Amino acid sequence: MHIKRGFETPELYRDGWVTIGNFDGVHRGHQAMLATLVFRARETQTRAVVMTFDPHPITLLRPQQMPPALSLLDHKLELFEQHSIDTVIVYPTDHALLKLTPGEFFQNIVLDQLNAVGMVEGPNFFFGQGRAGNVETLRSLCERAARKFEVVPALIMQGRMVSSSEVRAFIAAGEIVQAVEMLGHPYRIRGVVGRGAARGRTIGFPTANLDGISTLLPPDGVYAGRCRVGGKAYLVAINLGPNPTFGESVRKFETHILDFAGDLYGRTLDVDLIARVRSTVRFESREALMQQLKADLIAVRTLANELSRE
């Protein structure tokens, strides 16, 4: 897969089938669009091209309303590659782009830059200044320019339309299993391992605290997850929030990597959340906490086994 920052090396993206969007989370709805895009590109022996934006347009237009992302750019790119996309254009969003009317956007981007032979979008696609253009606008523009256009129907799961907003709502409610089902892949959290109080090591449960997390976090509680260290997969027990048993009020993302021994300080760690185990509880004693932590590790293994069989 080729990755371009803006419009460069046009032979890698012109004259192909194109889809344009933010693709936050690259959920199952996005994946249906990508599958259709690749099918049409292969059918016509052209390229499957994705155009996405970095930063998200809202960060320039209404930064105070920008919600935490569901996926970092490199994870999005990884997911695009898994779905056989040929070229991804990561466009560095600027005010000049955001001021284009729908007609100007179509002419300048879709025709002049991409020379798309066809486009694939979802039903909730908006484009142009003030999001004035929608799929019907795009259909009309494509027809006038003799370009093919296909709308992929909304995907309904759990009685809801699959969307980044719905995934975000599930995560915000701590319903990780439901969010992962809509995503079609684990929900990834990335941070840098920082120094903690090292209290976990003294009670037999060493933790790696992740700092600098920029994606959406679920509510406080204990979660099950997975990570890879040195190419090897591990289960992870995560405590998100303060530690009321020791009178702490600072919210932390503490990871205990099962069956792992080693120093990860300063390393970047990706943790894939798979399920919520329990809510945060204040324990009356250190011993009561240790007993619960042992139960949590059993719960993490059990949940991981159950979900891997589904």
Q: Please check whether residue 231 is in contact with residue 200, taking contact to mean a CB–CB distance below 8 angstroms.
A: no
- Pair of tokens at residue 161: 């339309």
Which ranges in the chain are annotated with CATH 2.40.30.30? 186-309
Q: How far, in Å, CA of 80 to CA of 94, rounded?
A: 23
Which ranges in the chain are annotated with CATH 3.40.50.620? 2-157
Residue 203: per-residue pLDDT: 54
Q: How far, in Å, CA of 188 to CA of 266, rounded?
A: 19
Closest CA to 234 of 208, 216, 266: 208
Query: Quick one: fold of 186-309?
Result: Elongation Factor Tu (Ef-tu); domain 3 (2.40.30)
Q: In this structure, which amino acid lies at residue 152?
A: V
Q: How many CA atoms lie within 13 A of 50 on its CB side?
A: 29
- Pair of tokens at residue 219: 């509510």
- Note down pLDDT in tens along the chain; length 310 residues: 999 999 999 999 999 999 999 999 999 999 999 999 999 999 999 999 999 999 888 888 888 888 899 999 999 999 999 999 999 999 999 999 999 999 999 999 999 999 999 999 999 999 999 999 999 999 999 999 999 999 999 999 989 999 999 999 999 999 999 999 999 999 999 999 997 655 555 556 888 999 999 999 999 999 999 999 999 999 999 999 987 666 676 899 999 999 998 889 999 999 999 999 999 887 777 788 888 889 999 999 999 988 877 6
Residue 196: per-residue pLDDT: 66
Q: Please check whether residue 12 is in contact with residue 51, taking contact to mean a CB–CB distance below 8 angstroms.
A: no
Which residues are within 8 A (CB) of 189 and not within 5 positions of it... i.e. 6 or more apart?
A: 210, 213, 215, 217, 225, 253, 270, 271, 272, 273
- Pair of tokens at residue 144: 């006038």
- Pair of tokens at residue 65: 């309303």
Closest CA to 124 of 216, 255, 5, 33: 33
Residue position matching structure tokens 């990884």: 78
Q: How far, in Å, CA of 216 to CA of 71, rounded?
A: 9
Torsion sign, CA atoms 168, 174, 175, 176: positive
Query: Quick one: fold of 2-157?
Result: Rossmann fold (3.40.50)
Q: How far, in Å, CA of 178 to CA of 45, rounded?
A: 37
Q: How far, in Å, CA of 92 to CA of 292, rounded?
A: 48
